[in-house]
Amino acid sequence: MSGAALGLEIVFVFFLALFLLHRYGDFKKQHRLVIIATLLAWYLCFLIVFILPLDVSTTIYNRCKLAVNSSPAESNGSYVTLAPSKQKCFKPWSYIPDGIMPIFWRVVYWTSQFLTWILLPFMQSYARSGGFSITGKIKTALIENAIYYGTYLLIFGAFLIYVAVNPNFNLQWNQLQTIGIAAANTWGLFLLVLLLGYGLVEIPRSHWNGAKRGYLLMKTYFKAAKLMTEKADAEENLEDIMEEVRKVSESIKYNHPLRKCVDTILKKCPTEYQERMGRNMDDYEDFDERQNSYPSEKSLAKLHKQVIYSVQRHRRTQVQWQILLEQAFYLEDVAKNESSATRQFVHTFHSQEPENKIIQYFYTPTVEWYWECLLRPWFYRVLAVVLATFSVIVVWSECTFFSTEPVLSLFAVFIQLAEKTYNYIYIEMACFLTIFFLSICVYSTVFRIRVFNYYYLASHHQTDAYSLLFSGMLFCRLTPPLCLNFLGLTHMDATISHKNTQPTAYTSIMGSMRVLSFIADGFYIYYPMLVVILCIATYFSLGTRCLNLLGFQQFMGDSEMTSDLIDEGKELIRRGK
C-alpha cells in the first residue's frame, strides 16, 4: 500500500475539482486556457488539503522510528528523542516513502504561487480584454498588469538594496526564499481570518435556518424581488449596447478595414439581435472616408468588451430567474404538503427533464413527503448543532494554540492522544475532518461573496472567466496559510510547539520562520485571535446591517424594506406561475 493512498487521493481530488468547475464554468463557451488554468489552481489547492493528513501520519511514524532507533547520546541535538514506545512502530497503511513528500510539496506549492502571482492576474486581463487578436489582448494584459508587477518588483528591489548595504544582515538564498514565503503567507493569513470568521458562524446558521420552511420561502421571495431588478437592469443595459452596435454596424460597411472587427462583435451578440441587424444592413453600399467619422479600433475594442460583459450578465440573470422560480414553486409545494392527510408529496409543476427510473422507483411520493416534510428539518437541525460544535472548538483552539504547557488547543490534544498509541487511522481522520471543516468555512465564503458584478461565482455554468480566474487566485493565496494554521492548531508546527522534533514535509519546504521572528512569534500567533471578534460581528449581522444602511438591500427580518421586497417577490412568483 506504500504510496497507493497518495495516488488514489490525487485522482479523486482531480475529479472533485473537475466536477465543481463544471458546475460553475462553461466548458463549451469559455476559453480552454481559462478552464485549464482555473482547474489547475483549484486542483492544487484541494490536493494540499487532502494530502496534508497523510504527511502528518507519516511524520509521526518517522518520529517513532527515530525515537526507537536512537538514544539521547546519539541524537547530537538534531532532534529531541521521544520516549520510545513499548511496542514497535507500526507502519501506517498510507505511509509515503522518504523523499517523495518534500518534492511533491515543492512542486505543488511553487506551481500554485506561480499561478496566483503571475499567470492568473495576466489571464484575468487577457480574458476581459476586448482586443480582436491574440497580440492585442496580450498587449492590453501587459499594460494593465504593469503597475501590479512593477509594485512588487519595486518593493523586492528596495529590500535587496537595504540588505546589501546593511552589514548587520547576511542573508542567504534560502533565507530570502523564506522571507518571500512569509510575506505571501502573511497576506493570505490576513484574508483567511476574515473569511474564516464569517464561515464559522454563517455555515451552522444557514443549516439551522434551512430547517425553517417559512424562513426559506420568505428569503426566496426576497431574492426574487432583487433578482428581477437586476434582470431588468441587465436587459436595459443589453438593449443600449445593442443599439450602439447597430449604429456602428451601419456606419462601417463591408469594405471598411475595420469591418472584420465589427463582424467579430456581431458574433458575440444574441441570435435575435444578429438577425435584426442583418436585415437592416446594405452590404453593397461602399464606405466613404470623407463622408463620416468612423470609430477607431480602440473604441471598437471597448465596445467588444462591453458586449461580452452585457451578454454574459443578461444570460446569467435569465438562467438564475428560471432556477429561482423552480425553487420558489418547490418551497410552496412543501408548505402545502405539510398538512397533507395522504402523506404523499404532490407537485404543482412536474420537472420538464425526465427523471432517472431508479431514483423514481425508490424516491416515491410517500418517501419524498417523509423526507421533505418530516425528516429533512430535523436532519438540518442536528447537522447545524454538529457544525456549531466544530465552530466553537475552532474558535477556542485559535485563541489557545500558542499554549504548549498545558496544551489547550483541543485539536492538539486529540492528535497527541492518538500519537501515544500510534493510531494512524484516527490521526488521519481527525486531521482530515479538522482541515476539511476549516476549508469548507473559508472556501464556501469565497463561493458566496459577491463584489458587485465584477466577482460573482454563479452555479449552473453562469460564472464568467474573470470570476473563475479570480477564485483560483484566492484559493492559491489562502490554502498555504490555511494549512500552516492547521499545523499550528495541532502543534505539528515546530514554530508553535517550540520542540526540536522532526517537522512535517510541508513545514520543511516553508523554511524556518525564525528568520522573521516578529512574524513567527507575533503575527502568526496572535492575529488569528481576531476570529473571535469577527464571529461576534457575523453572529449579530453587523456587516449586513451596515450594507443595509448604505442602501444595499439585505435580508433582515426586522426591516420594513425587507418586508416590502418580500411582498413584491411573492407577487412576482405568483405571476411566474
Cβ–Cβ < 8 Å for 300, 265: yes
pLDDT at res. 436: 95
Q: Tell me what pLDDT residue 457 has.
A: 87
The answer to whether residue 493 is domain-embedded is: yes
Task: Grade residue 74 by pLDDT with cuts at 50, 70 and 90.
Answer: very low
Specify whether the CB–CB gap between 532 and 198 falls below 8 A: no
What Rg value do the Cα atoms of the chain yield, rounded? 28
pLDDT number for residue 520? 63
Maximum alpha-carbon separation in the chain: 97
Task: State residue 75's pLDDT score.
Answer: 41
Strand partners, 456: 450
Cβ count within 10 A of residue 386: 12
Residue 152 domain flag: no
- Residue 451 parent element (H or E): strand 450-451
Q: What is the pLDDT of residues 179-190, one digit of tens each?
A: 778 778 888 888
Q: Compute the C-alpha angle 40/41/42, nearest 5°.
A: 95
- Is it true that the peptide bond before 92 is cis, omega within 30 degrees of 0? no
Is residue 224 domain-resident?
A: no
> What tens digit of pLDDT does each residue of 189-204 get?
889 999 999 999 999 9
- Tell whether 163 is covered by a domain: no
Residue 287 scores a pLDDT above 70: no
How many domains in the chain?
1
Look up cell 426576497; give the residue.
222
Please give the sequence-ordered ranges of beta strands (E in DSSP) within 254-308, or none if there are none.
none
Neighbour-count burial of 354, counting CB atoms closer than 10 A to its CB (0-12 exposed, 13-18 middle, 19+ buried): exposed
The pTM score is 0.87
pLDDT tier, 545 (very low <50, low <70, confident <90, very high otherwise): confident
The answer to whether 520 and 179 have CB atoms below 8 angstroms apart is: no
Which range among 26-30, 141-145, 179-183, 496-500 shows the weakest confidence by mean pLDDT? Answer: 496-500
Rounded to whole angstroms, the Cα distance separating 97 from 492 reads: 19
Tell me the residue range of the domain where 382 lies.
2-69+91-128+172-211+375-540
- Tell whether 501 is covered by a domain: yes
Q: What is the pLDDT of residues 497-521, one digit of tens each?
A: 667 778 889 988 875 555 556 666 6
In a domain, 229, yes or no: no
- Which pLDDT belongs to residue 205? 94
Q: Is 348 exposed, middle or buried (0-12, 13-18, 19+ CB in 10 A)?
A: exposed
pLDDT band with cut points at 50, 70 and 90 for residue 168 = low
